[in-house]
Amino acid sequence: MLSILKNLLFLSFGLLILYVVFKDKDLDQMFEDIRNAEYQWLFYSMIFGYLAYIFRGLRWLLLLKSMNYNTSVGKATHAIAAGYFANAIFPRAGEVVRCTSLYKVTGIPVNKLFGTILLERTIDLILLITCIGLSFILKFKALSSFFDTVFAETSPSEESNTKIIVLSCLVLTVIGLHFFRKKLKESKLYQKVVSLGKGVKEGFQTAFHMEQKGLFAVYTILIWLMYLLMTYICFFSISATSDLDIVDGLYIMVIGGLGMIVPVQGGLGPYHAAVTLGIASIGLTKTTGATLAVLIHTSQSIMIIATGIIATIVLSFAKRKMSRNEAGETPSV
């Protein structure tokens, strides 16, 4: 029940942001632009989005190979698709689903899989920060305008109160852990965390023992290139953004990525708000920004849902096949 309420709270928060994004926009113009959009560009965006999955799968295989585990690129890619599909329903559940999905069809321990994913997330964070840095250099004025708009409503007193609340929570957490540390160490949860930590450590160590570091770097660059292209290609779907260049694509990709950090199902709401403000900061209207956000988010959501359903079905059959093989059953001819 608590999990359901938490997810409903996140969804309500996203819908509230979505309402704020759309409430002052020219909805008639938005519907007109969406109706007249050139949808082939959105289809290409979906292809680039799925190619990012495939390159993620190939990169994941390199990490697993370093730990002497082997599987197919198909299973790895489907596990990734299942993870993104889960994230669209339950925020931050994707990593767990991705690990358990591959475990069920390969037997690779979940804790070691989770370690490789944390390594991937660390690398992706570095790449995101790098892209933010590039955007700051190439689109300094636009990025400054974006952050000024985002933080315009925060007064000094509210900022001070927030810091006090955060600091108080940290102090209380430290005190609680100190007094209950013995009971925590004896709990099953603590033992699971220790086991997970060992697997995570091994996952991180794979980066230092990897034989194909160059190929790993290539796959990482290709993943982020696909993210860039799946955003940039959507500019051509409506006339108002068709003249934007690849640098603008990088900038909107970064802004949209910041919106996706908010733990809301599929980034619904925060992503739209971020892209709307991002487009407005480079001189176009907020109505155009909201329209573009709807087109990009909807096309990627369709891709995530479609590939997620397919992945769930394929992995389900693979799991049954693996179970039959383990039980020593042989299909009749």
Distances in whole angstroms, Cα of residue 310 to Cα of each of 267, 280, 301, 317: 22, 37, 14, 11
For 287-321, the pLDDT digits (tens) are 999 999 999 999 999 999 999 999 999 999 988 88
Quote the distance between the C-alpha of residue 181 and its chain's center.
34
CA–CA separation, 311 and 86 (whole Å): 11
In a domain, 298, yes or no: yes
In a domain, 332, yes or no: no
What was the pLDDT predicted at 191? 60
Residue 157 has pLDDT above 60, yes or no: no
Number of domains in the chain: 1
CA–CA separation, 307 and 81 (whole Å): 6
CA–CA separation, 230 and 296 (whole Å): 8
For 10-38, the pLDDT digits (tens) are 778 888 888 888 888 888 889 999 999 99
Q: Could you tell me which residue, 72 or 2, shows the higher pLDDT?
A: 72
Q: How many CB atoms lie within 10 A of CB 191?
A: 11
3-state secondary structure of 23: coil
What was the pLDDT predicted at 135? 86
Token reading at 302: 């369709």
In a domain, 7, yes or no: no
Token reading at 276: 């709307």
CA–CA separation, 288 and 294 (whole Å): 10
Residue 326 has pLDDT above 70, yes or no: no
3-state secondary structure of 92: coil
Amino acid (1-letter code) at residue 31: F
Domain with 227, as residue range(s), is 13-323
What was the pLDDT predicted at 332? 43
H-helix segments, 210-245: 213-232
In a domain, 5, yes or no: no
What was the pLDDT predicted at 50? 97
CB-based contact 308:82 (threshold 8 Å): yes
CA–CA separation, 303 and 47 (whole Å): 8
Residue recorded with tokens 């190619």: 51
Q: Which of 54-68, 124-138, 287-301 has the lowest mean pLDDT?
A: 124-138
CB-based contact 238:292 (threshold 8 Å): yes
Residue recorded with tokens 């933080």: 151
In a domain, 3, yes or no: no
CA–CA separation, 2 and 119 (whole Å): 30
Q: Confidence band (pLDDT; 50, 70, 90) for 118?
A: confident
CA–CA separation, 97 and 212 (whole Å): 27
Residue 230 has pLDDT above 70, yes or no: yes
For the chain, the straight-line distance linking the first and the last C-alpha, in angstroms and rounded, comes to 48
Amino acid (1-letter code) at residue 155: S
In a domain, 1, yes or no: no
- Measured at the CA of 142, the angle between CA 140 and CA 147, to 5 degrees, comes to 95
What was the pLDDT predicted at 123? 86
* Count of all residues that appear for the chain in the document: 333
